[in-house]
A and B are shown apart, each in its own frame.
Chain A
């Protein structure tokens, strides 16, 4: 029992949100979300063509960028895992995938709500929409593989995450290549008040991403500690 150093033990057993830096950022991001919502509804003007529904844009786009960021984290973790085969990189890859699924779900919920007003339909089989759906389904598959693929699960999940990275590039550039129903990149053309609201929302989402990533990595470390303890119990013949 005494093999684990006190420093490692305290880090693993630290409850959610503990640590002054993380707590500060968690509170800050909560306040920033409230401020961002205020700016969306009271600071940014209503758009001429789209009307009120355009306000979905201020959270929809940062969610999509966070999804790409999650895929990026998953890519680094997965490639490093395939090279080094250490649990640390696998945990990073898994955390990235999970956050990409979370923010991808936000994109896939808010996008169709906007589309219902803009196109008269919740879903159209546009290249951007379809590729985004494929990306999120690939990431969900990454998570599912871990539960069902046995000993090779981590390797297969890492391979799928690498596939997701290439797909995410396809998602990002699809509006430039195919120019489908989905609007093109509009951020540079926004009016000043819209731009301020958008960038504030983006900053809020960025901080939220790193707070959630820290929490998710801590959960992963706890899971690894538990797995190691189970192994030691089995080795010492104490496991039931």
Chain B
């Protein structure tokens, strides 16, 4: 128990020190994606043309991303239920078989 709690305690101490250090530094305003982008990249003097791969990267289909995300939610949930059902069925069958075996062994003795 003591060893198990030692790692979390050390982790909490490290976190406290890191937080104190961070509080001293002035945080940049990155609360929004737009603000985060402006702090990372220097602002160009005017419009910047892009071409090739960079231009293609702009055309991300939002509906596709949303469909993928929701598909993953439903797939994971449904998959987990199916996994539990199959595991319970296998365990139930094995329990029944072992009980039968124990019953036969007990009656034969």
Which of B30, B65, B80 is in CB contact (< 8 Å) with A179?
B30
Which of A59, A177, A233 is in CB contact (< 8 Å) with B73?
A59
In residues 4-24 of chain A, which contact B (Cβ within 8 Å)?
12-13, 15-17
A212 lies within 8 A of B80 (CB) = yes
CB contacts (< 8 Å) of B99 on chain A: these are: 1, 229
B88 lies within 8 A of A218 (CB) = yes
CB contacts (< 8 Å) of B77 on chain A: these are: 33, 102, 208, 212
B4 lies within 8 A of A159 (CB) = yes
With A12-B95, A212-B80, A238-B105 as contacts: A60 and B69 at CB distance below 8 Å: yes
- CB-nearest residue of chain B relative to A56? B69
A226 lies within 8 A of B66 (CB) = no
Question: Quick one: CB contact mask for A101-121 with B, threshold 8 Å, 1 for yes?
Answer: 010011001100110111110
CB contacts (< 8 Å) of A15 on chain B: these are: 88-89, 92
| B103, CB-defined interface residue at 8 Å | yes
Q: Report Cα–Cα, A159/B8, bound state, in Å.
A: 9
| B56, CB-defined interface residue at 8 Å | no
A181 lies within 8 A of B36 (CB) = yes
B7 lies within 8 A of A163 (CB) = yes
| Count of chain B residues near A, Cβ 8 A | 53
Interface centre among A63, A102, A113, A216 (most CB of B within 10 A): A113
- CB-nearest residue of chain A relative to B64? A113
Question: Quick one: CB contact mask for A200-240 with B, threshold 8 Å, 1 for yes?
Answer: 00000000100010011011001101100110110010100
| A150, CB-defined interface residue at 8 Å | no
Q: Report Cα–Cα, A143/B33, bound state, in Å.
A: 35
B91 lies within 8 A of A226 (CB) = yes
Question: Quick one: CB contact mask for B12-23 with A, threshold 8 Å, 1 for yes?
Answer: 100100010010
Q: Report Cα–Cα, A116/B61, bound state, in Å.
A: 10
- CB-nearest residue of chain B relative to A51? B62
A102 lies within 8 A of B80 (CB) = yes
| A199, CB-defined interface residue at 8 Å | no
Q: Report Cα–Cα, A71/B65, bound state, in Å.
A: 28
| A55, CB-defined interface residue at 8 Å | yes
In residues 113-154 of chain A, which contact B (Cβ within 8 Å)?
113-114, 116-120
A and B contact pairs by CB, cutoff 8 A, 5 listed: A33-B77, A162-B8, A163-B7, A166-B11, A166-B12
Instruction: Give me the 6 closest cross-chain CB pairs, A-B, nearest first.
Output: A159-B4, A222-B91, A52-B62, A110-B69, A229-B98, A53-B62
8 more A-B contacts (CB under 8 A) besides A166-B8, A215-B88?
A13-B92, A16-B84, A56-B66, A113-B68, A119-B37, A158-B4, A166-B11, A230-B98
